[in-house]
Amino acid sequence: MEECCSTKPKNDHKHDHEGHDHDHSHDMKDKSVIQMFLPALFSFILLLIGILLDHFVKPDWFSGWIRIIWYLVAYIPVGLPVLKEAYESITHGDVFSEFFLMGIATVGAFAIGEYPEGVAVMLFYSVGEVFQGIAVTRAKTNIKSLLDQRPDEVTVIQDGKPQTVKAEKVTVGEIIQLKSGEKLGLDGELLSETASFNTAALTGESRPDTKIKGDIVLAGMINLNTVSQVKVTAAYKDSKLSKILELVQNATTQKAPTELFIRKFARIYTPIVVFLAIGITLLPFLFVKEYQFSQWLYRALIFLVISCPCALVISIPLGYFGGIGAGSRNGILFKGSNFLDLLANIQNVVMDKTGTLTEGVFKVQEVIFKDDINKDEILKLVNALESKSSHPVATAIHEYAGEVDHALQLDHVEEIAGHGLKATVNGKELLVGNLKLMDKFNIRYDVNAENIVYTLIAVAYDKKFAGYLTIADSVKPDAQLAVNKLKALNVKTTMLSGDKASVVKHVADQLGIAAAYGDLLPEDKVNKVKEIKAKRETVAFVGDGVNDAPVVALSDVGIAMGGLGSDATIETADVVIQDDKPGKIPMAINIGKQTKKIVWQNIILAFAVKAVVLILGAGGLATMWEAVFADVGVALLAILNAVRIQRMTFTSE
């Protein structure tokens, strides 16, 4: 399971320097279920007839070479593919594979005349392989169909007429016509005055999202009302949904520690089992008076069948894959199974304030300038300078002040991290930012920030303090619930912000967050996270994934809010929450915990059953039938348990 949801042709048998990786999907997506079971069905019929002839009908002719050939023909359809896999594994340096174990166990059974049991072991093993392949393929298909629901064809306006064309062939700049109920095939800019969309394919939320002219709309969104027109801004392969699909495809390449341990364990464990089987066969010769080689070889073969690590090797990656799928279904993208493990044990969630716990949609509350300042003129300058920034504060000022006067000449524009903006206008210095910016440039001011709850934007012009604006942001509806759920999971919450301390304290008091710090520069946030990590505690940082890159890099898990709006966010973060909802943070942790619980249930089940049957087999108290249950039966139970995670319901409410 090195890849998932792959849309390109692939060879399911991957070879590298570490050994032979086995993908249980075995090109199964190109076969029907009946085709997959045909070899096993043919072998089963021959085996059943053989057992009837052996024990009930007992004809004279069914003996000697005829009997051997009969069981050999029954063995070939199910045994030959496994022996071929064993040979390929050996040629690539992985001698002690599960295929090798099954191969020597069944060939050995034939060698001592236990033909029916040799066929039965390989038959049930092959049936188990088919079930495993179906489970893996279904998991891949479910996630791919869940995410990639783009139409193959779209309606493009060409020469004023609608034309149906392949979505892959549409170029940037073309105009798509979208009828009511149709799904958008490519990313674009809405040309219609207004349109309402269902964004479930991208965010996991079916609540309508109303867009206005000029807004960005994304592939996978469903138009809910009147006919709309969209100007294509990205090629089919470059759409947000394509990037999300690629992210999920590559998610299983980053393995969880448990998964990596099992793989390494299997490589050490399997050769030990082979040598133990040799010991079970030969060592009794030195200690047992009536030593029978065939009897001890049979016990050794049982031992080999039981010891096959298939249940662990397939069910554990499948469990993690199920967790990634459960996240995708709820609009949470995990970049690897290792992050599911890390989130399951996370002790601290450190959150940025703006855009994470608050809407990030600021509105100007007050505009207070000195009496000798021309308010309209200074606002024009502030608006022009803020237009150079992508910060939410800039948007609020633009909404309040109106259109930017592009005739204004701004020189030497500079953004000072954690402080604000600086520029030169008409040869005079213009500063717009927080009071730390005023302090930095030795601007004297007569404002007591402690008395102002809202975010304060100070303005200085020509080396003099001109006045200030206040900006307010609102807390997200589910922020309180998210904090409460994190507390219920025994996860400590901390809020860090570059915003002024009084604003941060106001929001923290609303949400019940005890540890909250404001007036922080990017390096201050890093130091706060370092303080937590110094206590040897794990930290997940939730922010925009770009401006807070140093903190994201330092934390154990970087979680990006609003990954839908930023390609850079998708690249930076370990986990992306697509719909900006803080309620998805505890949900992501819960998915990690449930996934880890299922993985460990499978590990304990496999080891417990195998240990019991191994002891019974070595002591001669278990037959090949018990061995088959210990291997194939446990594998199937583990797989059924692993796919449970895909059916679980997780809520953020």
Q: How far apart are CA 547 and CA 389, in angstroms?
A: 13
The pair phi, psi for residue 561, each rounded to 5°, is: -95, 135
Counting beta carbons within 10 angstroms of the beta carbon of residue 61, is it exposed (0 to 12), middle (13 to 18) or buried (19 or more)? exposed
DSSP assigned state of 582 = T
Per the structure block, which two tokens stand in for 164?
């149906």
Ramachandran assignment for 527, one of left (phi > 0), alpha (psi -120 to 50 degrees), beta (any other) = alpha
The helix (H) or strand (E) run that includes residue 542 is: strand 539-543
CB 165 within 8 A of CB 57: no
Question: Which helix (H) or strand (E) element contains residue 515?
Answer: strand 515-517
- Alpha-carbon gap, residue 636 to 388, rounded angstroms: 59
Q: Which residue has the tokens 């996934």?
A: 595
CB 86 within 8 Å of CB 100: yes
Instruction: Answer yes or no: are the C-beta atoms of 357 and 562 closer than 8 Å.
Output: no
CA distances, 69 to each of 47, 52, 64, 106 (Å): 12, 16, 9, 15
Q: Which 3 state secondary structure label does DSSP give 291?
A: coil
514: helix, strand or coil = coil
Q: At what angle do helices 310-329 and 337-344 cross, to 10 degrees?
A: 80
Q: Are 410 and 425 contacting, i.e. CB atoms less than 8 angstroms apart? A: yes
3-state secondary structure of 238: helix
DSSP 3-state assignment of 428? Answer: strand
| Burial 135-156, CB ≥16 within 10 A → b, else e | bbbebbebbbebbbebeeebbb
Q: Which helix (H) or strand (E) holds 547?
A: none
Beta strands 557-561; 539-543: pairing state: parallel
469 residue type, one letter:
L
Burial of residue 548 (CB within 10 Å: 0-12, 13-18, 19+) is: buried
Cα of 20 vs its chain's centroid, Å: 25
Catalytic residue (choose from 352, 499, 544, 574): 352
Closest to 340 (Cα-Cα) out of 243, 254, 245, 244: 254
- Paired with 427 in beta bridges are none
The secondary structure of residue 153, as a DSSP letter, is E
Cβ-proximal residues to 52 (8 Å cutoff; 6+ apart), any chain: none
Beta strands (DSSP E) in 373-475 are: 410-416, 420-425, 428-433, 455-461, 464-472
Q: Is 352 assigned a catalytic role?
A: yes
Distance CA 458, CA 416 (A): 14
Q: Which residue type does 640 have?
A: L
DSSP assignment of 162-225 equals EEEEEGGGPPTT-EEEE-TTPBP-S-EEE-SSEEEEE-HHHHS--SEEEEETT-EE-TT-EE-S
| C-beta of residue 631 within 8 angstroms of C-beta of residue 311 | yes
Catalytic site positions: 352
